[in-house]
């Protein structure tokens, strides 16, 4: 289809190598030669063949990103941050979507690791799969985790302080006078566990007994929250306030409550986590815990590029932990304007 280095070389009576150097701005070629090469390459509309280059250099300038849910604006925003930094570093993004299925995650990883220079993964796999990832890293695959950690896996990661997330949410409810506080907990992921941990910490710090009956299992997606809440309503014995593991779950739960004519913000308080897009425009604007998804994505790419382009320093143990902050809206009681406490990025060694 397009012209190749050889075509340009032939036309100018040069070797392919010199042309290659000229195209890549190698200072070894004479300025005049470079100009001639560039002129011809423009005329022939030369486009470098990325496959050939990748084969020769073993670098594709592709970054694989594996997210559990593309439709969740939280990950769309992370992707947005990733895209911004990647573009400025001349990398392109290949997407994998696990839809919170472990098997899908693993097959996407397998498909992408050999086609890309490195992966950014928000894993839904349980800690028991950490070994698989460790083997890949051992084998040379570059991996940065984002949003969720994988216990036992030692690689760079960008996370939120999820214990703090649970504490901020729960303490807010306690400050509002609630004592019977429920939790819709996620399963498996590190974030879910830590948010539960924060919930328990906040309770015990305020001398409230942990009551297992008030903690219900629930996935991370809207339908999960909806179903879990429906079951809870049906079974009766509702708490006066609920901390849901994340915003989609909270929104699903709110929908179920709405359908049962239970008014969120009046009959029951709700806090989510993640500050989803449109969370402030919902029927009942959702009080939530927030941190910057854009910064997460950006930080992850920077770490991955360091890993790929290896500047010598070992960054295996580098973790970025973002501090979350509470965003108060009306789902825990009447309130008009939003209060957002600025979130900040805190780099942190090991």
- Give me the residues that bind a second copy (CB under 8 A), please: 1-2, 47-52, 54-55, 58, 60, 62, 70-71, 73, 76-77, 79-80, 83, 92-97, 111-112, 114-115, 139-140, 251, 254-255, 277-278, 281-283, 285
Q: Which of 25, 42, 45, 57 binds DNA (CB under 7 A)?
A: 57
What is the rounded distance in angstroms from the CA atom of residue 219 to the CA atom of residue 313?
39
| Cβ distance to DNA smaller for residue 55 or 341 | 55
The gap from C-alpha 115 to its chain's centroid, in whole angstroms, comes to 21
The two beta strands, 62-67 and 92-97, are parallel
| Cβ distance to a second copy smaller for residue 70 or 315 | 70
Q: How many CB atoms lie within 10 A of CB 93?
A: 16
User: At closest approach, how far in Å is the CB of 19 from DNA?
Assistant: 8
| 204 near DNA, rule: CB under 7 A | no
Q: Position of tokens 């020769």? A: 56
- Piece of 55-63, 115-123, 177-185, 319-327 that binds DNA (CB under 7 A): 55-63
Q: Is 269:331 a contact under the CB 8 Å cutoff? A: yes
How far the first Cα of the chain sits from its last, in Å, is 50
Q: Which of 10, 43, 45, 46 binds DNA (CB under 7 A)?
A: 46
User: At closest approach, how far in Å is the CB of 151 from a second copy?
Assistant: 25
| 16 near DNA, rule: CB under 7 A | yes
Q: Which of 17, 231, 339, 340 binds DNA (CB under 7 A)?
A: 17
Q: Which two tokens stand for residue 289?
A: 């815990």
Q: Which of 20, 98, 298, 343 binds DNA (CB under 7 A)?
A: 20
| 308 near DNA, rule: CB under 7 A | no
Q: Which of 11, 44, 48, 89 binds DNA (CB under 7 A)?
A: 48
What is the rounded distance in angstroms from the CA atom of residue 281 to the CA atom of residue 188?
30
Q: Is 287:270 a contact under the CB 8 Å cutoff? A: yes
| 104 near DNA, rule: CB under 7 A | no
Look at residue 28 and give the partner it binds from a second copy, DNA, none, a contact being a CB closer than 5 to 8 Å depending on partner kind: DNA
Q: How many CB atoms lie within 10 A of CB 15?
A: 12
The phi, psi pair for 95, rounded to 5°, reads -100, 140
Please tell me the total number of residues recorded for the chain in this structure.
350
Q: Which of 11, 38, 44, 53 binds DNA (CB under 7 A)?
A: 53
| 55 near DNA, rule: CB under 7 A | yes
* CA nearest to 123, candidates 149, 99, 141: 149
User: At closest approach, how far in Å is the CB of 50 from a second copy?
Assistant: 5
What is the rounded distance in angstroms from the CA atom of residue 323 to the CA atom of residue 291?
7
* CA nearest to 127, candidates 150, 102, 156: 150
Q: Which two tokens stand for residue 263?
A: 């008014």
- Piece of 44-52, 73-81, 231-239, 324-332 that binds DNA (CB under 7 A): 44-52
* CA nearest to 265, candidates 158, 178, 165: 178
User: At closest approach, how far in Å is the CB of 159 from a second copy?
Assistant: 22
Q: Which residues bind DNA (CB under 7 A)?
A: 4-6, 13-18, 20-21, 23-24, 28-30, 32-33, 46-49, 52-53, 55-57
């Amino acid at each position: 289809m397009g012209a190749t280095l050889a075509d340009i070389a032939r036309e100018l009576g040069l070797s392919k190598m010199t042309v290659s150097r000229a195209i890549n701005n190698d200072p070894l070629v004479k300025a005049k030669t470079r100009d001639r090469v560039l002129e011809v390459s423009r005329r022939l509309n030369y486009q470098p063949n990325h496959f050939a280059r990748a084969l020769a250099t073993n670098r594709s300038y592709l970054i694989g990103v594996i997210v559990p849910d593309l439709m969740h604006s939280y990950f769309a925003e992370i992707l947005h941050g990733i895209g911004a930094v990647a573009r400025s570093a001349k990398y392109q993004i290949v997407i994998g979507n696990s839809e919170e299925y472990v098997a899908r995650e693993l097959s996407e990883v397998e498909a992408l690791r050999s086609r890309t220079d490195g992966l950014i993964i928000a894993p839904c796999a349980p800690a028991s799969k950490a070994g698989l990832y460790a083997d890949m890293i051992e084998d040379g695959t570059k991996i940065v985790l984002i949003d969720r950690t994988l216990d036992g896996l030692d690689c760079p990661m960008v996370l939120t302080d999820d214990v703090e997330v649970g504490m901020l949410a729960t303490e807010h409810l306690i400050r509002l006078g609630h004592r019977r506080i429920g939790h819709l907990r996620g399963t498996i992921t590190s974030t879910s566990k830590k948010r539960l941990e924060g919930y328990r910490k906040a309770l015990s710090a305020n001398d409230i007994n942990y009551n297992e009956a008030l903690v219900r299992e629930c996935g991370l997606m809207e339908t999960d929250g909806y179903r879990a809440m429906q079951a809870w309503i049906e079974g009766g014995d509702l708490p006066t306030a609920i901390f849901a593991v994340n915003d989609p779950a909270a929104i699903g739960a709110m929908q179920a409550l709405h359908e049962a004519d239970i008014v969120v913000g009046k009959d029951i308080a709700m806090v989510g986590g993640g500050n989803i897009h449109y969370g402030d425009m919902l029927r009942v604007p959702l009080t939530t815990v927030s941190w910057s998804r854009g910064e997460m994505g950006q930080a992850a790419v920077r770490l991955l590029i360091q890993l790929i382009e290896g500047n010598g320093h070992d960054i295996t143990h580098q973790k970025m932990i973002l501090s979350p902050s509470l965003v108060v809206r009306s789902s825990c009681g009447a309130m008009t304007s939003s209060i957002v406490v600025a979130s900040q990025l805190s780099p942190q060694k090991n």
